[in-house]
A = this chain, B = another copy of it.
Amino acid sequence: MAEDRLVRQLKALAHPTRLGMLQRLALEPEICACDLGEAFAVSQPTVSEHLRVLREAGLVTTRRRGTTICYSAVPEALSELATVVAALHPRETAEAA
Give Cα A89 to B91, complex, Å: 24
**Closest Cβ of chain B: how far from A79's Cβ, in Å?**
6
Partner of A90, one of B10, B15, B73: B73
Interface residues of A (CB under 8 A from B): 3-4, 6-7, 10-11, 13-16, 19, 22-23, 25-27, 29-30, 72-73, 75, 78-79, 81-82, 85-94
Give Cα A13 to B10, complex, Å: 7
Contacts of A86 in B (CB 8 A): 82, 85-86
Partner of A16, one of B3, B19, B29: B3
Give Cα A79 to B23, complex, Å: 18
